[in-house]
Amino acid sequence: MRLLILFGFFGAGKTTLIIKLAKNFVRRNKKVAIVVNDVGKIGIDDKVIEHYGLKVKEIFGGCICCQLGTDLVETLDFLEKNYNPEIVILEPSGGASPEALYSTLKYVRELKIIYFPKISLIDATQFNVLIEVIEPLIKAQIKNSDIVLINKIDVVLEKNVEEIKKDIKKINEKSSILPISALENINMNELISILEV
């Protein structure tokens, strides 16, 4: 089982990107499952994803990086035993801490998980506000990423994207940065080839 984890703050476009990626993987005859974590006690992302005919399991009513960590371990175990997907795409809640989530995943000992590069999604339209208001979370998501995707570049100026790139490099100089628009399919082929599916 290959596990792709996509961090990103609420509204960054994680669900849209996951639907695009999953549909692409399915077109390549990959067996895909999606696990979404809604902090609300009423799930929404599962309904959106199911609408596109994709296999989804939802963990809701808390965060998988902390109080629902056990549920995540159980869900991955259930998926492998009952569905045996080649690829699992995991959408943590927008407030999830990468460090805490990766610590939780250490407990998934019985499953053979191969990790994709660690990815976080940045909303280009909101980056400056978020880095001020919730700096520790945004920095943690960037620091713990191999690839940082700057999403929604179709609605911001190119110079703003360049400024965001510089800020990301200051936080994590080793990360690769790819500006995309999941909604408008900008640089999605580049992303797929980086993921080497």
Partner 1 sequence: MSEHVFKVFASKFWIEFDSEKDKNQISNIFKALLEKLFYVGSKNDVLVGHVKLFGKGFQGMYVKGNVTGKLENLKVEIEGGREKRIKMWLNIISHQGEAEKIKSNFCNVLREFEDEMNVRIENLEVVL
Query: Site residues (CB under 8 A) for partner 1?
Result: 10-11, 38-44, 47-48, 51, 62-63, 65-66, 93-97, 100, 123, 125-126, 129-130, 133-134, 136-137, 140
Q: How far apart are CA 22 and CA 32, in angstroms?
A: 7
Nearest residue (CB) to partner 1, 52 versus 83: 52
Nearest residue (CB) to partner 1, 43 versus 117: 43
As a residue count, the chain comes to 197
Asked if residue 20 lies in contact with residue 77, where contact means CB atoms within 8 angstroms, the answer is: no
Nearest approach, Cβ of 40 to partner 1 (angstroms)?
Answer: 4
Nearest approach, Cβ of 197 to partner 1 (angstroms)?
Answer: 26
Which of 37, 26, 30 lies closest to 72, judged by CA?
Answer: 37
Q: Return the SS3 of 149.
A: strand
Nearest approach, Cβ of 73 to partner 1 (angstroms)?
Answer: 18
Which of 153, 20, 168, 37 lies closest to 94, judged by CA?
Answer: 37
Nearest residue (CB) to partner 1, 48 versus 195: 48
